[in-house]
């Protein structure tokens, strides 16, 4: 190495000494273990939920956030893991969760009244440790209130779950954790499916869809987009032909939800 | 066959010092009696050096600067005696509850477990120190010799079989516990030691002193032989403390509770047991209004003045620090409300948990740590708002109950299972099941109907048009109870017309999505429309 390069290297190392030790030393990026969400298109898009990291799922109401949360809980409890749900506005529905496959006896449900209670409970749970997944549901909290949560809170949560096997999942209306999140997923609902709907009737420019006997909600289509993903996949696996030719366009994918009275639909 | 006797010298004093360990470094005198006739009944060495004597009045004893004067505490003596029994049971299953300050252990078969007799003695002294007692231990081939030697000699005394007379000969004849008349007689005769007494001819002794003389003669020679009277092992562990000044603050109360818990856990550890539940009971200071005790206004069975709390533990534990933290959290959540005069702690004993983790099983939260975490969260959200949801056997919409959360291993053991969870995998191409977010409580709404079908809705300042509707789906039940229900449910897809400033919990926050699927229901009994929740 030339003397100029050595001097330059020495100068950079000395200026960064207070903040970064050995800036020129190669550090192998740790491979993050991923856990399946239980929704095949999401697992195809993201590789699953990263352990020891903060994952954000955000979107407006009726965008499939709760459905994805419940699927993840069902997947983790089916793997015999103990999960915790911090419910900021006491909106969790045990009936639909059990129908989706969540083992309720393996779920610790903390019913909060406001964001402050939710954040304190989350901090205590993360410090306690031992959970396979901790979910913080701020889906019903107005976005303007969640914006007031300082960034250091998210940073603190991220550091607390680092090097643990715990998945930390946050459900919100908009993304707030910024770079503290290893995986950020945005959801938006698209068309809704109704079974046995009658023909559309147009009247005075308004589209009115009258109901018919036997009309049932059949689910809806959700568009999921990866906004940020810094986790590596731990394992590679073979994808089925269906998955390879799935409606996946780069960092986004569309998938459909099913309702409990509709049974499991195969595509 | 060998017997060991454990004797606690100055038992009343040691019972008090056990509760306040700082007193062992100071001159201490115990008083007893009704004022103004209180007199000193026990003193320690430092108090004796200062000049305080037995039978001195309280006023005279208080003249000595630096001396601590404490009343005798029967409650403390009871718990100290219970601790002494626990020490005995921790070593031998056959013990005799001889006196308040002495017990006898049958050491048959214990040498292979604890070693030689001297080592057994050292072990007993070590365990006694852990429980806060300084004891003398004597080991002999018969019970009475062991008892007399433990009372007479300090530390560990081992008397080989056949040599009982020699060590006992040095002891004063009072160690044989003769009656007052016999003691006076022996004093007139000039018999001072047991050795002198053992040399007396037994025939003449029986003529002068009767059967008591014969019995005492056998004791002095170490020749008495009697069977051990086995005491039943106790299954209750209680500690209590009476306070001179009532305690109001949590910090000093925690200090006292910590001390009691240390003693309790030491006794549990001595018996290789854990605590499955902790019961705490406080006697509160009476509260007076206009000079009258307000407790008089209540019948005896409902009289306030006692605070009781029970903490059930998911697994048996004997970590005093963890138990103290749990107690503190519960007391912060439900404070007693009055100063505390007396503290009573009881532990429900259980076998300690023995678990072996599997190599391929997922890790669970540590039960003790989890219990602390849940207690801390309960302080924030309330005890009733943390737990596992459990569906009830009813068709009532949204009915469930909250249960105490247990890790799967503990839950399976509680149900009589093996503690191993059955692992299943979700199907590879599983779909996301549509989930529901509940509004608690249900939100009142106003609906416009056309031909029986909702067309417009309004709730929480939002207005919208119904795009698609599914219903009505009638559900009803519990008509035989006081709280029946009858509801007509609708699933409505709504397009909102909310103003930007109204976009909060009940509206979409994103311009791209102004619609949602909600569940409305008409409550036939309350005659109103409500929003149960939203599909999300």
Structural domains in chain B, CATH included, are 238-287+304-350 (3.30.1490.100), 387-423 (no CATH), 436-535 (no CATH)
Please spell the DSSP secondary structure of B65-127, one letter per residue.
Answer: TTEEEEE--HHHHHHHHHHHHHHHHHH-S-EEEEETTEEEEE-TT-HHHH-SHHHHHHHHHHH
Q: Who's near B263: CB < 8 A, 6+ residues apart?
A: B18, B79, B83, B131, B132, B239
C-beta separation of B92 from B107 below 8 A: yes
Q: What is the pLDDT, as a whole number, of residue A205? A: 45
Shortest distance between the Cα of B331 and any Cα of chain A, in A, equals: 19
Is residue A262 included in any domain, yes or no? no
Number of domains in chain A: 1
For B73, the token pair is 């505490």
- Nearest CA to B278 among B333, B322, B242? B322
| Nearest CB to B433 within list A82, A140, A260 | A260
Q: Do B434 and A131 touch (CB under 8 A)?
A: no
Measure CB to CB from residue B437 to each of A74, A139, A222 and give the nearest one: A139
A-contacting residues of B 450-489, CB under 8 Å? 451, 453, 455, 465, 467-471
Tell whether B69 is within 8 A of chain A (Cβ). no
Which of B517, B510, B513 shows the shortest CA–CA distance to B532? B517
The pLDDT of residue B487 is 94
The rounded distance, in Å, linking the Cα atoms of B16 and B245 is 16
- Region A227-248 average pLDDT: 56
Look-up: residue for tokens 């072996």? B356
| Mean per-residue pLDDT, A175-204 | 77
Q: pLDDT of A143-160, one tens digit each?
A: 999 999 999 999 999 999
pLDDT band per the 50, 70, 90 thresholds, residue A137: very high
Per-residue pLDDT of chain B (536 residues; tens, 9 = 90+): 689 999 999 999 999 888 888 888 888 998 888 877 788 899 888 888 888 888 888 888 888 888 888 888 888 898 899 999 989 988 898 999 999 999 999 998 888 888 888 999 999 999 999 888 999 999 999 999 999 999 999 999 999 998 888 899 999 988 888 899 999 999 999 999 999 899 999 898 899 889 889 999 999 998 888 888 998 877 778 888 888 788 888 899 999 999 899 989 988 888 888 898 999 999 888 765 555 555 555 555 555 678 898 888 878 888 999 999 999 998 888 888 888 989 999 998 888 776 666 666 677 888 888 999 999 999 999 999 999 999 998 888 889 999 999 887 777 766 655 444 444 444 444 678 889 999 999 999 999 998 888 999 999 888 999 988 888 889 999 989 888 999 999 999 999 875 544 444 444 444 335 788 999 999 999 999 999 999 99
pLDDT at site B76: 87
With CB atoms and an 8 Å threshold, state whether A40 touches B428.
Answer: yes
Are the beta carbons of A211 and B512 separated by less than 8 Å?
Answer: no
Collapsed DSSP state (helix, strand, coil) of residue B37? coil
Give bridge partners of residue B459 from the DSSP assignment.
Answer: B462
Q: B426 and chain A: CB distance < 8 Å anywhere?
A: yes
Minimum-distance CB partner of B435 among A61, A66, A80: A66
* Residue of chain B whose Cα is closest to the Cα of A81: B362
Residue A19 placed within a domain:
no
A211 touches B at CB < 8 Å: yes
How far from chain centre, in Å, is Cα B322?
Answer: 12
Partner residue facing A110 (CB), from B372, B385, B505: B385
Selected residue of B389, B402, B518 to mutate for chain A interface (largest A Cβ count, 10 A)? B389
Is A112 domain-assigned? yes
Residue A113 and residue B380 in contact, taking contact as beta carbons nearer than 8 Å = no
| Set of chain A residues whose Cβ sits within 8 Å of the Cβ of B421 | 80
Q: How far is CA A90 from the centre of its chain?
A: 19
Contact yes or no for B139/B111 (Cβ under 8 A): no
Most confident of A117-126, A206-215, B44-53, B329-338: A117-126
Q: Considering only CA atoms, which of B403, B410, B413, B408 is closest in space to residue B423?
A: B408
Q: Write out chain B residues lying below 8 Å of A94, CB-based.
A: 389-391, 400
CB contact under 8 A, A78 and B424: yes
User: Would you report the helix, strand and coil content of chain B in percent, each value rounded to 5?
Assistant: 35, 30, 35
How many angstroms separate the CA atoms of A223 and B436, rounded?
A: 18
Q: Which of B13, B459, B430 is nearest to A40 (CA)?
A: B430
Lowest-confidence pick of A23-32, A231-240, B152-161, B227-236: A231-240
Q: Measure the CA–CA gap between B123 and B111, rounded to whole angstroms.
A: 12
Which tokens is A187 given?
């959801």
Residues near A228 by beta carbon (within 8 Å), at least 6 away in sequence: A179, A181, A182, A183, A184
State whether A92 and B438 contact (CB < 8 Å): yes
Instruction: Pick the closest to residue B382 from B421, B332, B420, B341 (CA basis).
Output: B332
| H or E element, residue A171 | strand A167-172
Cα distances (angstroms) measured from residue B466 to each of A16, A21, B19, B518: 61, 61, 73, 10
Site from A41, A44, A61 to mutate, B interface, most B CB atoms within 10 angstroms? A61
Q: Which domain holds residue A220?
A: 28-256
Question: What is the rounded CA–CA span in Å between residue A230 and residue B346?
Answer: 54
In a domain, A23, yes or no: no
Residue A265 lies in a domain: no
Contacts with B, A 66-105, CB within 8 Å: 66-71, 74-75, 78-82, 89-101, 104-105
Read off the pLDDT band of A240 (50, 70, 90). Answer: low
Banded model confidence at residue A241, pLDDT cuts 50, 70, 90: low
Residue A140, domain CATH: 3.40.50.300
A104 is a domain residue: yes
Q: A70 falls in which pLDDT band (50, 70, 90)?
A: very high
> Cis omega (within 30 of 0) on the bond before B36?
yes
Using alpha carbons only, how large is chain B's radius of gyration in Å? 36
Residue of A nearest to B433 (CA): A258
In sequence order, what are the beta bridge partners of A110? A86, B386
Q: Is the pLDDT of residue A73 over 90?
A: yes
* Predicted pLDDT of residue A185: 94
Residue A131 placed within a domain: yes
Does B372 reach chain A within 8 Å, measured CB to CB? yes
Does B377 contact A at CB distance below 8 Å?
Answer: yes
Alpha carbon of A135: minimum distance to chain B alpha carbons (Å): 14
Q: Look at residue B429 in the predicted model and tell me its pLDDT.
A: 47
The answer to the question of residue A8 being in a domain is no
> How confident is the model at residue A6, as a pLDDT?
85
pLDDT, average across residues A117-144: 94
Q: Which residues contact A32 (CB under 8 A, 6 or more apart)?
A: A50, A51, A52, A53, A182, A231, A232, A234
Chain B interface disruption, residue of A35, A45, A82, most B CBs within 10 A? A82
Give A245-266 pLDDT, tens digit per residue.
544 445 788 888 888 764 433 3
* Range 219-258 of A in CB contact (< 8 A) with B: 219-220, 222, 240, 242, 255-258
| b/e burial code for range B492-520 (CB count within 10 A of at least 16 → b) | bbbebebeeeebbbbbbbbeebbbbbbbb
3-class DSSP state for residue A251? coil
Contact B381 A91 (CB under 8 A): no
Q: Does B425 touch chain A (CB under 8 A)?
A: yes
Q: With beta carbons less than 8 A apart as the criterion, state whether A114 and B399 touch.
A: no
A-B contacts at Cβ under 8 angstroms: 261
Beta-carbon separation of B534 and A62 below 8 A: yes
């Amino acid at each position: 190495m030339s003397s100029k390069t050595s001097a330059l290297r020495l100068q950079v190392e000395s200026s960064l000494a207070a903040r970064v030790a050995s800036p020129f030393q190669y550090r192998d990026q740790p491979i993050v273990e991923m856990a399946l969400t239980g929704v095949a298109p999401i697992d195809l898009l993201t590789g699953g939920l990263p352990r020891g990291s903060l994952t954000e799922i955000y979107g407006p109401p009726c965008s499939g956030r709760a459905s994805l949360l419940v699927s993840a809980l069902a997947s983790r409890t089916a793997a015999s893991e103990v999960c915790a749900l911090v419910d900021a506005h006491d909106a969790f529905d045990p009936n639909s969760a059990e129908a989706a496959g969540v083992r309720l006896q393996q779920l610790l449900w903390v019913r909060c009244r406001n964001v402050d209670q939710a954040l304190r409970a989350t901090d205590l749970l993360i410090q306690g440790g031992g959970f396979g997944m901790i979910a913080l549901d701020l889906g019903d909290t107005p976005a303007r209130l969640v914006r007031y949560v300082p960034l250091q809170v998210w940073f603190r949560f991220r550091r607390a779950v680092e090097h643990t096997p715990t998945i930390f999942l946050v459900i919100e209306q908009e993304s707030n954790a910024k770079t503290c999140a290893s995986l950020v997923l945005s959801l938006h609902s698209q068309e809704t499916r109704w079974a046995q709907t009658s023909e559309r009737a147009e009247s005075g420019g308004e589209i009115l869809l009258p109901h018919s006997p036997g009309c049932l909600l059949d689910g809806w289509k959700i568009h999921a987009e990866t906004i940020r993903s810094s986790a590596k996949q731990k394992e590679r696996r073979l994808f089925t032909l269906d998955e390879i030719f799935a409606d996946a366009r780069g960092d986004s994918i569309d998938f459909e939800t099913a309702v409990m009275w509709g049974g499991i639909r195969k595509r | 066959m060998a017997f060991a006797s454990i004797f606690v010298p100055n038992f009343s004093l040691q019972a008090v010092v056990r509760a306040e360990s700082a007193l062992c470094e100071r001159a201490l005198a115990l008083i007893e009696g009704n004022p103004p006739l209180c007199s000193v009944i026990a003193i320690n060495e430092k108090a004796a050096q200062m000049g305080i004597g037995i039978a001195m009045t309280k006023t005279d004893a208080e003249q000595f600067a630096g001396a601590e004067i404490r009343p005798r505490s029967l409650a403390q003596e009871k718990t100290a005696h219970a601790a002494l029994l626990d020490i005995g049971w921790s070593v031998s299953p056959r013990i005799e509850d001889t006196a308040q300050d002495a017990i006898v252990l049958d050491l048959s078969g214990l040498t292979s477990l604890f070693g030689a007799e001297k080592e057994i003695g050292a072990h007993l002294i070590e365990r006694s120190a852990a429980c806060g007692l300084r004891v003398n231990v004597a080991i002999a081939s018969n019970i009475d010799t062991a008892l007399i030697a433990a009372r007479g000699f300090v530390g560990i005394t081992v008397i080989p079989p056949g040599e009982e007379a020699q060590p006992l000969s040095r002891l004063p004849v009072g160690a044989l516990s003769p009656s007052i008349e016999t003691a006076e007689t022996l004093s007139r005769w000039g018999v001072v030691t047991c050795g002198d007494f053992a040399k007396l001819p037994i025939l003449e002794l029986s003529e002068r002193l009767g059967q008591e003389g014969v019995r005492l003669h056998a004791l002095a020679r170490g020749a008495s032989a009697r069977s051990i009277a086995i005491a039943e092992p106790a299954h209750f562990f209680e500690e209590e403390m009476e306070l001179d000044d009532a305690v109001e603050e949590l910090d000093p109360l925690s200090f006292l509770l910590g001390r009691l818990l240390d003693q309790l856990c030491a006794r549990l550890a001595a018996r290789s047991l854990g605590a499955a539940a902790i019961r705490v009971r406080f006697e509160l200071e009476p509260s007076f209004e206009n000079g009258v005790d307000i407790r008089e206004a209540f019948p005896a069975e409902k009289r306030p003045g006692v605070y009781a709390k029970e903490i059930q533990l998911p697994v048996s534990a004997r970590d005093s620090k963890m138990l103290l933290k749990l107690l503190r959290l519960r007391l912060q959540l439900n404070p007693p409300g009055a100063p505390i005069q007396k503290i009573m702690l009881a532990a429900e004993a259980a076998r300690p948990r023995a678990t072996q983790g599997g190599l391929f099983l997922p890790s669970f939260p540590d039960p003790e740590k989890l219990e602390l975490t849940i207690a801390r969260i309960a302080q924030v959200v309330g005890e009733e708002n943390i737990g596992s949801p459990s569906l009830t056997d009813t068709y009532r919409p949204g009915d469930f109950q909250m249960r105490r959360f247990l890790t799967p291993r503990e839950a399976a053991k509680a149900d009589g299972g093996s503690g191993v969870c059955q692992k299943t995998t979700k199907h590879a191409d599983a779909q996301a099941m549509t989930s529901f977010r509940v509004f608690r409580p249900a939100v009142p709404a106003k609906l416009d109907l056309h031909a029986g079908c909702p067309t417009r809705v309004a709730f929480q300042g939002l207005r919208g048009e119904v795009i698609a509707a599914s219903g009505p789906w009638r559900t009803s039940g519990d008509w035989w109870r006081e709280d029946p229900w009858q509801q007509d449910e609708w699933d409505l897809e709504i397009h909102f017309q909310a103003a930007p400033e109204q976009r909060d919990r009940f509206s979409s926050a994103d311009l791209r999505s102004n619609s949602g699927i909600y569940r409305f229901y008409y409550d036939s009994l309350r005659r109103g429309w409500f929003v149960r929740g939203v599909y999300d």
